[in-house]
Amino acid sequence: MTVRWGVLGAGWIVRTATAAAFHDADGAVLQAIGARDRARAEALGPRIAYDSYAAVIEDPDVDAVYIALSNDAHLPWIVAALEAGKHVLCEKPLTLSHDQAVEAFALAEHRGLLLVEAAWSRWHPRMQRLSELVASAGVGTVHEYEGSFTFSGVPQGNYRLEPKRGGGALLDVGVYPLHGLVATIPDPSALAVIDVVHERHRGGVDLTTSADLQWGPGTRARITASFIQPEHQQLALAGSEGRIDLPGNDAFTSWRAPSTLVVDGHVEEFAPVDAYRIMVEQVSTVILGGTGWVVPPRDSLAVAHLLDMLRTEG
């Protein structure tokens, strides 16, 4: 059995990574792509290409929809897809607010459908291993976390610089270290903001957000997201009995390349993988009634709540 996927959008992430993941994934087929430019959709090799997103959702041969549109378009198309009886995999951030995320998951539950945030790095075997180590108390009780994702060079005219379209560094790349954080501590609802600093674009979006949070006495998390700082990715955490580091500069974007994880000086190596493909395979498995791992709604809701807190403070 296979899941027939429809894709909304033919932008950079679809062209460079996710279309290939749907083609390569076991248990999945790229049934349809909708794009404003039908030729761009056709070039990615679906069974059928459309020049509208609605046509994909209305296609009776589409079982599930992957949404790869600008952030402001996520909730409307999540709702449309769920109302049409389609399972949904939606790019991060799932929605623009915690309230919207609650609405989306409530509708999915009401319709008996799967809704998953496509925080693709969570499916990488290295990140899965980190979660396993933390869950098994491999480094004791975690009390410190550092996560950063920064790069320089968002071009003018890009939706990431438009506040009404869900732009800003926090929503674009801050989601990655926040997902790492909620995967690391036992109760994300205990997180509280200590301090947050934004450096803003003249249009109003944050070009850099740096924040300190805590989830109990003696704990600290440091999150940095930026469109203007030098390219850098970091995930490191310290526990009562050890430390875990993701070395290199690919903590959240390791793709088809070897990677490593260091636990108290011991290096664990991971073979090159396509975590996008793993994501598609796992989500498809769950849709088909099998056993697979997907980002839990609890984690997506926790990240949405943190994004709300960080955007409104500082």
pLDDT tens-digit readout, 192-230: 999 999 998 877 899 999 999 999 999 999 999 999 999
The catalytic position among 86, 87, 92, 179 is: 92
Q: Which residues of the chain have pLDDT under 50?
A: none
What token pair was written down for 288? 């088909």
Asked if the domains 3-118 and 122-312 are classified in one and the same CATH topology, the answer is no
CB < 8 Å & 24+ apart, contacts of 74-80: 74/166, 75/100, 75/103, 75/104, 77/8, 77/53, 78/104, 78/107, 78/115, 79/103, 79/104, 79/107, 80/54
pLDDT of residue 54: 98
* CATH number for the domain running over 3-118: 3.40.50.720
Q: What does the pLDDT look like over 118-167, one tens digit per residue?
A: 999 999 999 999 999 999 999 999 999 999 999 998 988 889 999 999 99
* CATH number for the domain running over 122-312: 3.30.360.10
Domain limits, the chain: 3-118, 122-312
Which amino acid would we find at residue 191? Answer: L
E strand or H helix that includes residue 72:
none
Per the CB < 8 A criterion, the answer to whether 229 and 218 are in contact is: no
pLDDT of residue 314: 61
Q: Output the pTM of the full model.
A: 0.97
- Of 93, 67, 68, 92, residue with least CA distance to 78: 67
Tell me if residue 92 is catalytic: yes
